[in-house]
Amino acid sequence: MTNPKLEVLTPQNSQIIFIDHQPQMAFGVQSIDRQVLKNNTVALAKAAKIFGIPTTITTVETQSFSGHTYPELLDVFPELPLLERTSMNSWDDQKVRDALAANGRKKVIVSGLWTEVCNNTFALCAMAEGGYEIYMVADASGGTSKEAHDYAMQRMIQAGVVPMTWQQVLLEWQRDWAHRETYDAVMNVVREHSGAYGMGVDYAYTMVHKAQPRSSSHETLAPVPAR
């Protein structure tokens, strides 16, 4: 029997869930810089949008505790409903189970807060009770300490979860630079969210290939020696 974990992620075989990317949850994150966390999460969302990946966004106790989901994340998917819960474990909410089942894909990519609670319990239950394969995006998730995040990742990996990073997911979906229909959109995400790699792409486009800068509306004044 073929091991499904040997299959690469494709736009046809995967779906994604964003769990509790809300301010109060982010306030408690100590395993990763919180601005980096938001950057990575939004980049992952943009990647999912490019490739038409079925997407679920779930929230917990929005009004009473956690606050509203990052607006930058919601702006990527303005058409999606938010699946509100009371349980720390998204699997305990029937709406979430129904949404995952309706998407009809067993490979579930997960980005959420916190790694050691909401991500961990969802992953274990979705595998045990739902038969899903879980791909945990480590750098688009966060825990209350580095140890909490790392040991939660280790526990999930021991149980069969596949660890990934957001850019790995993006490039696995792209797979071939000859896929021109998504090339420009992918490179835009890279330029906006991939730090030095993105700056390098901008440099290559403009200085090597002589493309116009992304922001080309500014007049450049020539040097004038001071008298």
Instruction: List, edge to edge, every strand of the sheet that includes 133-137.
Output: 82-85, 55-60, 14-19, 107-112, 133-137, 162-164
**Backbone φ and ψ of 60, nearest 5°:** -130, 130
SS3 of 77, please? coil
Helices 34-50, 166-174: crossing angle, 10 deg rounding: 20
Using CA atoms, how far apart are residues 154 and 132, in angstroms rounded to an integer?
Answer: 18
- Of 22, 27, 29, 92, the closest CA to residue 60 belongs to 22
Residues with Cβ < 8 Å from 104, sequence gap 6 or more?
A: none
Using CA atoms, how far apart are residues 18 and 103, in angstroms rounded to an integer?
Answer: 15
Distances in Å between the alpha carbon of 124 and those of 136, 152, 215?
11, 11, 46
Residue positions annotated with a catalytic role: 118
